Structure 1
Amino acid sequence: MNKNSYCVIMAGGLGKRFWPVSTRACPKQFCDILNVGKSFLRQTFERANQIFDTQNIFIVTGTAYEELTKQQIPEIPSENILKEPFGKNTAPCVAYAAYRIARVNPHASMVVVPSDHFITNDAVYLDNIQKGISFVEQFGGLLTIGINPTRPETGYGYIQIKKNKFSEFISKVKTFTEKPDKELAKVFLESGDFLWNAGIFIWKVEDIIEEFKTYLEDMYLLFEQEYKNVENPDSPENIAHIYGQCRNISIDFGIMEKSAKVYVMKGEFGWSDVGTWHSFHEISPKDENNNVSNSEQVRLIETKECIINVPQDKKVIIEGIENCIIAENNDILMICHRDHEDNIRHFDDMLKHTTKELN
């Protein structure tokens, strides 16, 4: 293991698109949505722990999820759980982690990974990560990992690569494009010049801090003054003070889309961000009618193209249904047509509003 490299697992977010399985009390990254016996977060930690010392792994999550994180990853030192008082997107998250690591090792390399993605080949994934670390340690710059697109997906961001490759695996980045419409996604796919943005970043701590200075100077000055040079920088009061002044901005928009020092490695591992029930359907085993179910207790009759996610002890019979999402958790049952999946992220608030009206 490389003692000079650190892994940061981003475990914020509410996973609203997976409601009611993912809730505010237990968001998607803490759930076993894939029914493999481990949460996304646990899987991500175990994968990282194969090449990073436990002491070199940091988890950034909401203050409310500190105990849930400790329950699922009891190995992690308490001081390695970086608690955000509220979500301000990924740029403050990256800045906080970079400055925290810099206190221990200012010349370290840093890998940033989401906590809730699906990886099919751990060995290749870890090999790609290690190659990425070697690259930034030798050449510097900001490295991200892209995935060869297999379909005109509109739910992912895209990275356009420059024709002149830096190496066999790595190219300079030409442009970033956020979630295109279907026609543009088809153009991207057919061109062969675009990769899906997997949201995985590799860089040296000193390099990313310098990029904050250049492109997000307000955030840079905030951490320089209110974190780097205070006696108890990780106190809840100090972090709340810092986050209260941070802009709500992603690392992609704030730095990656602006910097001239961005490279992309073509990832060779199977990947999905499992961001929607649709993507869950894509990666899950299906029956002869293209249904996906997480339980053997579910009986399907003349039912096609459905997604069923219910408690394991729940006996369910579904007859004559097509193209629906049926999900249950605690005392909530949701049935939604797959064409209307975008509405799911609003259902929790709608239900609370309805409950208030009834009361």
Structure 2
Amino acid sequence: MSTQRAGVGFAATDRFEGEIEAAARSDSALKSGYVLLGDETFLYERCRRAVLKAFVPDDLREFCLSDMDLAQHSIFEILDRARTPSLMAPFQVVFIRNLKQLYTRGAKKDEFAEIDRYFRSPNPQALLLFVADHLRIPADPRRMDMEDKNKFERIRETLGDHCTMVELARVEDTDAMRWVTITALAQETKVDPDAARELVDALGSDMMLIASELEKLLLFSYGRGRITLGDVETMVLSAKQRSLYELTDAISAKDRPRALALLHGLLNSSDAGEDAAIGHLYMLARTFRQMLVILEKNVRDSRAIWQALWQGFRMPPFAADDLIRQARRYKSRRDLTRALRLIARADLELRSSPPDKRLVLERLIYDLTGETRSYGNLYVSPQLSFES
């Protein structure tokens, strides 16, 4: 898939890629560390690919690339590895995941002192990349959640003097559409404007999903050189989005037989079969989160829904009225938080490699369409996320 430039939504990633490419050509000095801030997986993967292309030859990958998790390795161990030259490779690249571990359970004064010591005399043959994917940065940073904003400032205060901050913010709709158009043109295919709009709206500006679906559309339209609105409706909306909202409609109506039939239809129509279960669960969780916001903000018509749901968290226009109707079937916030709790439990079970993924999802449908049980005063945030 092409990585052509496409608008201001990609600006931070473009700058990062430019710095890495220039350093690889020895046109500029390489910085010792970067912090990749944000949970936009598509942009993170672009940054990672740029680093691997520049500094990690395929034949030396196992000797010069380290992926280390702060939940499993201490920062002392990680920095010791960065200081130690490799006998097999001239350069070291270290991706440091789970950065949030440095900001929990205590002040971590010794850890930050060690980071300060390292960057005062860094290994010039090593590049450290801290991954802060526990933050969500919206397309408009002014709308960042206060908790995320506080975490962001804490990282800036502790690592900002040593590392360059790369903000991987959510992509604006217009930038996502521009990316679709440019990427398709690189494959000698034109995307009709209404098709690009529908693709972006249908997938809520989720760039990972957009990139995946665009690749399928390019294959579907191969030889024609054009992607139309009808192609998007055939390949994306009818197969995934509409079936998903039909499923949540059956769940909210407590229609268990129809919900089970729709679930089986989703699994049978998916190229990955049961292996797509986590992806279906992610979309189900997202839809229930949307319903929770709709119920809490007392949204009654589709005109108000765009103020209630932030960019990147909106449903496609065709589903707005249906989702409002579904949300109003739930009598209280507790009913929807119960549903999210059940989905979270199923997500955990799926990630534990159960012998039968279909059975996990069927049991979830039974629970979601059953009688509501009290879980006390548990509140599940509308921004609770499940990984795809």
- Structure having the higher Rg: 2
Report if TM-score (shorter chain) is over 0.5: no
Greater strand proportion: 1
TM-score normalised to structure 2 length? 0.29
TM-score (norm 1): 0.31
